[in-house]
Amino acid sequence: MTALPTAATRPSADGLPNALTDLREFLAFKIGSEEYGVDILRVQEIRSYEKPTAIANAAAELKGVVNLRGVIVPIIDLRLKLGLQEARYDHLTVVIVLNIGQRVVGVVVDSVSDVLTLEREQLRPVPTLDMDQDRDHLLAIGSVDNRMLILLDIEKLLAPALASHPTGH
Q: Long-range contacts: 137-146, Cβ < 8 Å, 24+?
A: 139/16, 139/17, 139/19, 139/20, 139/23, 140/16, 140/17, 140/20, 142/26, 142/37, 142/116, 142/118, 144/116, 144/118
Residue 19's identity, in one-letter code, is A
Task: Give the tens place of pLDDT for each residue, 22-35.
Answer: 558 999 999 988 99
pLDDT of residue 60: 87
Residue 107's identity, in one-letter code, is V
Cβ-contact 112, 98 below 8 angstroms = no
3 state DSSP class of 21: helix
What span, in angstroms and rounded, lies between the C-alpha atoms of 24 and 32? Answer: 25
Strand partners, 149: 142
Q: Name the region of 101 (left: φ>0; alpha: ψ -120 to 50; beta: rest).
A: left
pLDDT of residue 63: 94
pLDDT of residue 18: 57
pLDDT of residue 101: 84
Specify the pTM: 0.81
pLDDT of residue 126: 82
Q: Name the region of 168 (left: φ>0; alpha: ψ -120 to 50; beta: rest).
A: left
Per-residue pLDDT of the chain (169 residues; tens, 9 = 90+): 333 343 444 455 555 555 555 558 999 999 988 999 999 999 999 999 999 999 999 988 999 999 999 999 999 999 998 888 877 888 889 999 999 988 999 999 999 999 999 988 888 888 776 554 566 788 899 998 889 999 999 999 988 766 655 444 4
Residue 119 DSSP class: -
Task: Give the tens place of pLDDT for each residue, 40-66.
Answer: 999 999 999 999 999 999 988 999 999
